[in-house]
Amino acid sequence: MNSNSTGNKVNVPEAREAMNRFKYEVANEIGVPLKQGYNGDLTSAQNGYVGGYMVNVMLTERLLQNPLKQQCCRGCGITVQYNFSVFLRQ
């Protein structure tokens, strides 16, 4: 992997442990048997569920905390409301 890649890079070093705890919380919540250390026995689908669910939760929280505004041609602020539903396939 390229050293300039941003794949698993945590921008705030203090957040690394929180993200790790979050990953195990999510895995437990969706029934993926993630454990400390080697997890080569998990399928790519199981790993994808964990990562995808994490992204859904983080984006939903961010959008709920910071509603997006759309600018019309005259510069007036139009508030856009988003409704989210998270669906899990297992």
Q: 8 or 70: whose pLDDT is higher?
A: 8
In the predicted model, is pLDDT for residue 72 greater than 80? Answer: no
pLDDT value of residue 61: 81
Q: Which two tokens stand for residue 60?
A: 């939903």
Domain boundaries defined on the chain: 15-79
Lowest model confidence (mean pLDDT) among 11-15, 21-25, 42-46, 52-56? 11-15
pLDDT value of residue 45: 94
Residues sharing a CB contact under 8 Å with residue 70, sequence separation 6 or more, in sequence order: 78, 80
